[in-house]
Amino acid sequence: MTAGVRISPIRPEFIGVVWPEVVRMLGPAVKRSNGRFTLDNVQGEILRGELVLWMVLSDKTPIAFYTTRISDYPSRRAMVIDWLGGSDMEAWLDAVVETMEDHAKTNRCEHLEFCGRFGWKTVLARRGWNAEYVAYRKELSDG
């Protein structure tokens, strides 16, 4: 794991302690959902145990947060990262990927999934990820 970086899941009952930092770091990613999700939706999913919230610390300072969930497909099981945000990504991204891989293997997952902006393609390719698809959308209007 990357020196000086610690990653740990946050139990739902402690979400309130870190929520202001979560809002600051995950808020931009949630905003990019263009109204499909809100921070209240994300918080509800964490509190219901549908998402696991992870905190990335440098020394004792939170520098990133992300969420994971397990997706059971008819023929496979995947570890999915839905929300990710923070600062100084190069300092923690490798540690996050390593932690996700370990967590996925522990939960009998066969692959990792992540959807994000186009810029992630280059960053993740260097870490062994392959882009499988790009999602597009068109807003519909009345008239």
pLDDT of residue 129: 83
Helix 39-47 vs helix 15-31: crossing angle, to nearest 10: 140
* Cα gap 34→125, rounded to integer Å: 26
* Ordered structural domains, the chain, with CATH: 5-125 (3.40.630.30)
pLDDT of residue 22: 98
End-to-end Cα distance, the chain: 54
Which residue type occupies 26?
Answer: L
pLDDT of residue 139: 67
pLDDT of residue 132: 80
* Low-confidence spans in the chain with pLDDT less than 50: none
pLDDT of residue 125: 86
